[in-house]
Structure 1
Amino acid sequence: MRVSFPFSAIVGQDEMKRALLIAAVDARIGGVMVFGDRGTGKSTAVRALAALLPPIAAADAGYQDGTVRKGKVPVPFVDLPLGATEDRVVGALDLERALGAGVKAFEPGLLARANGGFLYIDEVNLLEDHIVDLLLDVAASGENVVEREGLSVRHPARFVLVGSGNPEEGELRPQLLDRFGLSVEVRTPQDLAQRVEILKRCDAFERDPAGFAEMWGRAERATVRRIARGRAALAGVVMPDAVLGFASRLCIAVGADGLRGELTLMRAARALAALDGIAVVSAAQISAVAPLALRHRLRRAVLDETGSTARIERALEELAA
């Protein structure tokens, strides 16, 4: 069995790891978009988190074609290639067999395989727009519908959508980017000690994957417990009106379009509080997740050359004053 690089052993990239943990606690947040340089551990982190999570009931994983599976299976991790056709993504109906034999012959696609787990798209900004539209619609509804010539098949498709890309190679349309719950920026580490530690850990993993994973076993189990506690506590975390007011004032101050940003900000702050064992959300949690939830939803200010993150941080400072 293939051994994944331990999530806990990933050096740096704290913002990306935090966003993924938040999404693992509350899938309603709507997935994570990771912008940044190549070779910064984006797919490694997502694959590692999927491998870290406890096995799920077989009946909840993948597409169930009328059969009931028993037992537990690993959390699905599906990598969607750029050249994937629509049929490969959503699945295909065999019309000839359906009309000739009178049965619904359905070949499940990547969305079916991802049910209950993670769907990862590298360079999502280069994916065809209609495929991205489709993915986001399914991710929001939790259901995939395939229709051909009057025939229709529906199946659950509940997954955490994670996209990554380099903005220099093509931007994602703003209305699509807004549909991702959280946005993360990753950069190649410039700290020498950090880079050396990355090299050492990668080398140790390549030499002895099982031994390296065992060495990080305690930290991995602690992360699993943290996620499990967060999921269990999520529904009971209190969001005071004063904190909701703070979140709304922040969104107004930075000029976030629509209300999706505020909803995501609320959900992400609640999930972070649950992860940290905090029963009542405060402005501290809102401030911690604000860049993740809002930076990709800001209109570009012609007279303001500062980046989105800087604008959010400045607004937070002004609101706290």
Structure 2
Amino acid sequence: MTLDTPFPFTALHGQPLLQTALLLATVDPLIGGVLVEGPRGTAKSTAARALAALLPGRRFVNLPLSASEEQLVGSLDLEAALQGGEVRFRPGLLARAHEGVLYVDEVNLLADGLVDLLLDVSASGVNHIERDGISHAHPARLTLVGTMNPEEGELRPQLLDRFGLFVRLDNVLPPAERQAIVRARLAFDADPAAFAARHAPAQQALAARIAAACAALPQIEFSDADHERVAAMCHAAAVEGVRADLVMLRAARAHAALAGRDAIDAADIDAVAELVLAHRRHAEAEAEQAPHTPPPPPSGASGQQQRTAQAPADSTAPEDGDWGALPPQLVPIAGVKSVRPLHAKKP
């Protein structure tokens, strides 16, 4: 990928869950960001950069693990404030990412204090800086995208719960899909400008759709039926607190806005439910979820296939029997359900 020409979002193959989660968090940044779990080589950063290219400012800010709090939030010139009464603010990474994408690779390795701070700003849309009684605030409405490889450690449950949406990726791909991804990548690497030009109409249409959804969002209200359905789902999942309820309602509203509707329906809630509940579901409720396979990717979207974690296939004991072995047991693991394709409203 070149610095000037990111891979087109509409050219990603087989990433319906990731693409939908990123679009939802962009339409309503107060959802609280997206946490993407998966091994290396699953195009996590490619998708985040591609999303940023759809936004008006095309801002993509990468937060290094070595960043300090001052680099993240910015700093105040205390000497100027004390001597002249003027607050001079030196912008940090949060200010640079305003109305763009803030990407944190291996967020599980970032200091807990910085993760807390990131999630606070993502959920509020405002960055507050205070130094020795002097304070400053600025808007920081950004799409927070954090990634992690579970082999390198987990996030604390308190921090995991504060990410709005969760997507789990897998790098085990069927041959046909691998070919599609590789062909697209080779074509892009051979001539990025020409590849981007071929996808320009689809990119422009999606950018316009995002802008329209952002504008329509405040006019979409939450009905009593919406509250009842969301509350029932979160109760069934035995999640703690009401953060999941709030995020699910916001995500369902963003889903409806992206589809061009002026009201939320049950399909919008069902489409986003597992993105909200996958990392919050209580262990007992998780065990009751049946394993499944996601449907085909939505039309017009493309990248690497993401799948839910599957329960291991049951098997029978050897015929002659190993008297020292226990019979295998099925242990279901809840996965991230597929999100329904988003289609623009028919004229």
TM-score by length of structure 2 reads 0.78
**Letter aligned with residue 148 of structure 1:** R
Match of 1:190 in 2: 173
Question: C-alpha separation between the residues in 1 aligned to 2:73 and 2:218?
Answer: 32
Structure 1 position 102, deviation (Å): 5.9
The superposition leaves residues 224-281 of structure 1 with CA deviations (integer Å, 9 ceiling, x where unpaired) of 2221232233233354322321221111111111111111111111211121123332
**Letter aligned with residue 65 of structure 2:** L
TM-score by length of structure 1 reads 0.84
- The answer as to whether partners of 2:247 and 2:276 remain within 8 angstroms in 1 is yes
Superposed, which structure 2 residues align to 1:17-28 within 5 Å? 17-28=19-30
Range with greater deviation from structure 2 (259-268 or 269-278): 269-278
Q: Does 1:268 align with 2:251?
A: yes
Structure 1 position 19, deviation (Å): 0.6
Match of 1:62 in 2: none
**Letter aligned with residue 277 of structure 2:** L
Question: C-alpha separation between the residues in 2 aligned to 1:255 and 1:116?
Answer: 34
Match of 2:93 in 1: 110
Q: State the SS of the aligned residue for 1:269.
A: helix
- The answer as to whether partners of 1:189 and 1:195 remain within 8 angstroms in 2 is no
Match of 2:270 in 1: 287
- The answer as to whether partners of 1:114 and 1:157 remain within 8 angstroms in 2 is yes
**Letter aligned with residue 82 of structure 1:** L
Structure 1 position 39, deviation (Å): 1.5
Q: State the SS of the aligned residue for 2:13.
A: coil
**Letter aligned with residue 19 of structure 1:** A
Match of 1:82 in 2: 65
**Count of residue pairs brought into register by the alignment:** 293
Match of 1:50 in 2: 52
Q: State the SS of the aligned residue for 2:278.
A: helix
Match of 1:41 in 2: 43
Structure 1 position 101, deviation (Å): 6.5
- The answer as to whether partners of 2:30 and 2:125 remain within 8 angstroms in 1 is no
**Letter aligned with residue 47 of structure 2:** A
Cα distance change, pair 10–142 in 1 and its aligned pair in 2 (3 A): same
Question: C-alpha separation between the residues in 2 aligned to 1:263 and 1:153?
Answer: 28
Structure 1 position 145, deviation (Å): 2.3
Match of 2:343 in 1: none
**Letter aligned with residue 94 of structure 2:** L
Percent identity, aligned pairs only?
Answer: 52
Structure 1 position 153, deviation (Å): 2.7
Question: C-alpha separation between the residues in 1 aligned to 2:283 and 2:196?
Answer: 44
Question: C-alpha separation between the residues in 1 aligned to 2:165 and 2:77?
Answer: 37
Question: C-alpha separation between the residues in 1 aligned to 2:166 and 2:108?
Answer: 13
Superposed, which structure 2 residues align to 1:1-321 within 5 Å? 2-53=4-55, 55=56, 74-96=57-79, 98-99=81-82, 103-301=86-284, 304=287, 305-309=331-335
Range with greater deviation from structure 2 (182-191 or 136-145): 136-145
- The answer as to whether partners of 1:118 and 1:159 remain within 8 angstroms in 2 is yes
Question: C-alpha separation between the residues in 1 aligned to 2:50 and 2:85?
Answer: 43
Cα distance change, pair 87–220 in 1 and its aligned pair in 2 (3 A): same
Question: C-alpha separation between the residues in 2 aligned to 1:110 and 1:294?
Answer: 30
Question: C-alpha separation between the residues in 1 aligned to 2:264 and 2:81?
Answer: 53
Structure 1 position 203, deviation (Å): 1.1
Question: C-alpha separation between the residues in 2 aligned to 1:203 and 1:52?
Answer: 22
* Rg larger in structure: 2
Question: Which ranges of structure 2 fall in alignment gaps of 5 or more residues?
Answer: 288-330, 339-347
Instruction: Please report the RMSD computed on the Cα atoms of aligned residues, expressed in angstroms.
Output: 2.2
Cα distance change, pair 9–303 in 1 and its aligned pair in 2 (3 A): closer
Question: Which ranges of structure 1 fall in alignment gaps of 5 or more residues?
Answer: 56-73, 314-321
**Letter aligned with residue 308 of structure 1:** A
Question: C-alpha separation between the residues in 2 aligned to 1:256 and 1:28?
Answer: 20
- The answer as to whether partners of 2:128 and 2:137 remain within 8 angstroms in 1 is yes
